[in-house]
A and B are shown apart, each in its own frame.
Chain A
Amino acid sequence: MTFLQPILLAGLPLVALPILIHLINRWRHRKVEWGAMMFLLDAKRLTRGMAKLRFWLIMAMRMLAIAALLFAFARPLTSGWLGLAIGGQVETTIILLDRSASMEQTDLNSRVSKRQAALSQLSSMLENTGSGSRLVLIESVDNVAREIDPGQPLNELLDTSPTATSSDIPGMLETALEYVTANLTGRTDIWICSDLREHDWNVNDGRWATAREKFQPLEGVKFFLLSYAERASDNLAVRIENVQKRGAKGEQEVQFDVVLQREGDSLAPQSVPCELVINGVRSTFNMELSGDSALLQGHRIPIEDELAGGWGRVDIPADENLIDNTSYFVFSDSPVHRTVIVYEDAQVADALRIAATAPLDAGISYEAQLIEANRAEEVELENVSLLIWQAELPDGVLSDQIQAFVRSGRPALFFPPDRGGDNAIFDFQWGEWQESAGAEPHRVTTWRRESDLLADTSSGEPIGLGDLRTDAYRKLVGEPGRVLAQLDDGSPLLLRVTNSDGPAYFWTTLPVWGKSSLAQDGVALYVSLQRALTIGAEAQSQSRSVDAGSPDAKAIENWQPLDESLNAVLLSQRWMNAGAYSLGERQIALVRPAAEDLAAVLDADQVNGLFNGLDFRHVEQQAGSSGALTSEVWRAVLTVMVLAMLMEAFLCLPERKESVPT
């Protein structure tokens, strides 16, 4: 329980006043000479028992009345057990708001979403408790700590509006940690509002352990998780994947897959009407759904020959979550997936060429151009999707060209040369070769499975890096970088540069015998090259699809909406919501991250494990919850006081005098 005027609780010793007065009265007793002692002795004997109980009840009622009066003046707040946890004067309140698409799940009765319920309850709680404290909002889209006006209802803030993004809860916690340590926030309550989706929480992320470790020594930091993990009772999510424009002249068509994902209590077969809009033209089709998902693969829609590109949208009927009922897509002619390989070792170049040109999609052309290192200055990057550099790092003009290439969103992959190492790019340069020299080869101990080149497959299967052997690798000197795969001695095997405006990677070993088994266990090499190639091709392409809320989505600030309905979306909010936009010939579709359609949530044990060692309270709520987290209860306390006084008065009522026999 917390109090708005806790200073008044200093008067609590006054509760002992009735006993004190009683003792003083006894001490100041009068002396009376008395004759009728025989009745007095009888009375004393009879007094043991009920009369004593009555006396102590009267005392207890008087003490209770005083205590209740003091409590009422101190203006107590309560919310069941939560009231016990919230205590003391909070100097800073930090709200970590999950604005992911799944938080838009709505209670069908109240039409209040999980996000709205969380904001409403937090506003009410802050109104009761947060007067005078600093209020900081960290929302999942920007992941930036912003101080906000405590008097403004949270639901009215632009930064709390609905989005079609996903969340990175450990990342938000890192931001909160930075804020707390940088601003010396003192007594701080951190409120996390989330629906506990597994992909948002990413329990295997190493940042959890780091955050725990760094939060533990901080005194006065309390965590409150306001969770809305309730599953939808009947919700469908639609998604468009693998959009391609294909076909010979006169037979042009758009081909795409439609994925339906169901979350709910019933798995009964049903027919789902889907409305398809392509370049503003509507058509409908039905999808048969049985189980929790359905896939309509290779759905084809003929288009006009002269149409170089366009956009489309698929809608399904409204249900519990409106955000996931629409999926946008854009299409255009697919560019050739062209790779340039600058090499020093022909054997290496050959392995890389094979991996880069093995067709992932039969409808796309794959090309690779091999350039020897001594002719590196001849490299032409204009229509290239991916640059692979296995030579001494470039310098001068060439270095500038490559950095511009990366800035355009196309990846550059650097492999170590046998010799050299003086030059640097992106503040990295090669160090010495490290060989296992007959000892056991190095193994990969950890790799980033949640995103980037080594992420798990769409089915959730990890890429098999565990079997990869590394006999020799080259040290990498420089910073900063994000390690995507780490060897057992702590050195990076694959690292992504983080001080560039585009994708640049460093492999520290080579796909040849004697260096590593990258070529023999070719999956990791092939997947990483193809993913890099896809990133490059998409950057090259006139049309591409990116996750709403991702850094790439921010580029659409000045783009024009392709769908008229998107005009209603505020400019600042467009990049975090689904839509289709264009700038000249280029088109972009902002889509809800695929993981948002996965219904898996954390259980209480997992949540408790993540906050193990921290001062943590878990408050489970539901979408549509309108009950206040805290409320003033002085009326109830005053009622207790009145009841206590009435009880005391009743106990003090003189008993009916017995008539004296005449």
Chain B
Amino acid sequence: MQDQRDFLDPDVLARLAPLSLHARFPMLGNVSGRHRSPIRGSSLEFAAYREYAPGDDLRRLDWRVHGRSDRYYVKQFEADTNLRLCVVVDTSGSMRYSAGGMSKLDYAKRLAGTLAYLAANQGDAVGLYCAGAGIAHHIDPKRNATHLGTVLDELAMLKASGETGLVEALHEAAEKVPQRALFVIISDLFVNPEELGEAFQHLRFRKHDASVFHLLEQKEIDFEFDRPIRFVDLEGGASILADPTMIAQQYRTALHNYLESLTEVVREARVDYHRVALDEPYGDVLARFLLSRTPKKSR
């Protein structure tokens, strides 16, 4: 089993260890952690003043304010809590696509495994959702020590096949995870942007934070072929014989329209969107991702 975790690269893990995974929105954890909570707590981070009410801990009275204003105010502090990281990996047939290097699914495994490791390492709960036709497998987020191994094992066994059920999987996950969580979605997103937008809105409605790694091969963007080709659908649909020189322009137009729609969808849903070319080292992608989420004000 250990051999199947080759998607974890110790060098990348070591390089990313200093970086922390942060949620963009307050999380509701059950233990203390690194993430903001909507509930006031006992951290060192000052949050606000509140007028004293009977029953309040007198130790929190700010005597200096009382001396200046003759009123009783209680100091409130931010609560730090842990994070529930839910990694959603698309396992539809199209994730099997490879332009010669690693397949999209392999790339997704690397992203997902590394993120899970980093999250578990900083004491957050990690869960895994595999989106095939609906949710094929899922592991709810937990933060005990052996849970990471379970997640990584599951990742190692993932196979890409069949039609995509990403939208249904996201709806399902949004309902299944009861408390605020960070959803990291790794997919080629070959779905209807409008339907995908609804799924994102659903996640956001449930107070979840969402990030998307959109995996695209450069060849899928350029569509540069020089002779007739029979394109076989990786998701099991019918094959198409086409002369790329005849349809390249139309293909690019369709792709362009799709990406524009997708951009609009993620903007409206306030989803953290990252387009990833598979020829880019995944360590760099993750580093950029982690850095982009680091709060600007140091603690």
Is B250's CB under 8 angstroms from A36's CB? no
B235 touches A35 (CB 8 A): yes
Which residue of B220, B231, B254, B258 contacts A46 across the interface (Cβ within 8 Å)?
B254
Q: Are A29 and B240 neighbours in the complex by a CB distance under 8 Å? A: no
- The digit string for A40-69, where 1 denotes a CB below 8 A from any CB of B, is 111110110001100100000000000000
Report B219-239 CB contacts with A as 1/0, cut-off 8 Å: 011000101111111110101
- Chain B residue with the shortest CB-CB distance to A39: B254
Pick from B225, B258, B263: contact of A39, CB under 8 Å = B258
Interface-located stretch among A3-11, A417-425, A439-447, A654-662: A654-662
> Is A31 a contact of B228 with CB atoms below 8 Å?
no
Measured in the bound complex, the distance between the Cα atoms of B260 and A655 in whole Å is 20
Query: Quick one: which of A35, A42, A657 contacts B250, CB cutoff 8 A?
Result: A42
A26: Cβ under 8 A from any B Cβ = yes
Partner of A55, one of B95, B246, B256, B259: B246
In the bound assembly, the distance between CA atoms of A46 and B242 in angstroms comes to 13
Q: Is B190 located at the chain interface by the 8 A CB criterion? A: yes
B220, B249, B258: most-surrounded residue (chain A CB, <10 A) = B249
Contact A660 B256 (CB under 8 A): yes
Roughly how many angstroms separate A26 CA and B231 CA in the complex, as a whole number? 13
* B159 proximal to A (CB < 8 A): no
Contact A32 B229 (CB under 8 A): yes
Cβ–Cβ < 8 Å partners of A38 in chain B: 190, 254, 258
Given A35-B188, A36-B94, A36-B255, A44-B240 contact (CB < 8 Å): yes
**What are the interface flags for B121-138 relative to A under an 8 Å C-beta threshold, 1 for contact and 0 otherwise?**
000000000000000000
A-B contact count (CB 8 A): 117
Cβ-defined contact, A658 with B250, below 8 A: no
Q: Which residues of B contact A51 (CB under 8 A)?
A: 246-247, 249-250
Q: Flag if A32 contacts B94 (CB, 8 Å).
A: no
Which residues of B have CB within 8 Å of A28? Answer: 227
Q: Which of A26, A35, A41, A661 contacts B234 (CB 8 A)?
A: A35
| A residues less than 8 Å from B188 (CB atoms) | 35-36
Q: Decide: B259 and A44 in contact? CB cutoff 8 A.
A: no
Closest to B237 in A: A37
Nearest CB on A from B220, distance (A) = 5
C-alpha gap A51/B250 in the complex (Å): 9
- With a CB–CB cut-off of 8 A, which chain A residues contact B60? none
Nearest chain A CB to B243 CB, angstrom units: 7
A42 touches B96 (CB 8 A): no
Residue of B nearest to A45 (CB): B250
Q: Is B253 an interface residue (CB 8 A)?
A: yes
Q: A43 CA to B231 CA in the complex, in Å?
A: 13
Question: Is the pair B241, A26 in contact by a Cβ cutoff of 8 Å?
Answer: yes
Instruction: Report A-chain residues with C-beta under 8 Å of the C-beta of B237.
Output: 37
Contact assessment for B240 and A35 in the assembled complex, using a CB-CB cutoff below 8 Å: no
- In the bound complex, what is the Cα–Cα distance between A44 and B247 (angstroms)? 7
CB pair A46–B256 under 8 Å, yes or no, is no
Contact B227 A25 (CB under 8 A): yes
Residues of A within 8 A of B254 (CB): 38-39, 42-43, 46
Task: Contact check, A37 vs B235: say whether CB atoms are below 8 A apart.
Answer: yes
Whether A30 sits at the interface, judged by CB under 8 Å, is yes
Contact yes or no, B240 A37, CB < 8 A: yes
A 619-662 contacts with B by CB, 8 A: 654-655, 657-662
Query: Is B7 in contact with chain A by the CB < 8 A criterion?
Result: no
Enumerate chain B residues within 8 angstroms of A44, measured Cβ to Cβ. 240, 242, 247, 250
Given contacts A34-B232, A34-B234, A47-B246, whether A39 and B255 have CB atoms under 8 Å apart is yes
- B247 adjacent to A658 (CB under 8 Å): no
28 pairs, CB–CB < 8 Å, chain A vs chain B: A26-B241, A28-B227, A29-B227, A29-B228, A29-B229, A29-B241, A30-B230, A31-B232, A31-B239, A32-B225, A33-B97, A33-B231, A35-B93, A35-B94, A35-B104, A35-B235, A36-B220, A40-B231, A40-B242, A43-B242, A43-B251, A47-B246, A51-B246, A51-B250, A654-B248, A658-B256, A661-B263, A662-B275
Given contacts A41-B240, A42-B250, A52-B246, 18 further A-B contacts (CB under 8 A): A25-B243, A26-B228, A30-B230, A32-B230, A33-B232, A35-B95, A35-B97, A35-B188, A35-B220, A37-B237, A40-B242, A40-B247, A42-B251, A43-B242, A51-B247, A51-B249, A655-B249, A661-B263
In the A-B complex, the 8 residue pairs with the closest CB atoms: A35-B94, A42-B254, A43-B250, A35-B97, A43-B251, A46-B250, A34-B231, A29-B228
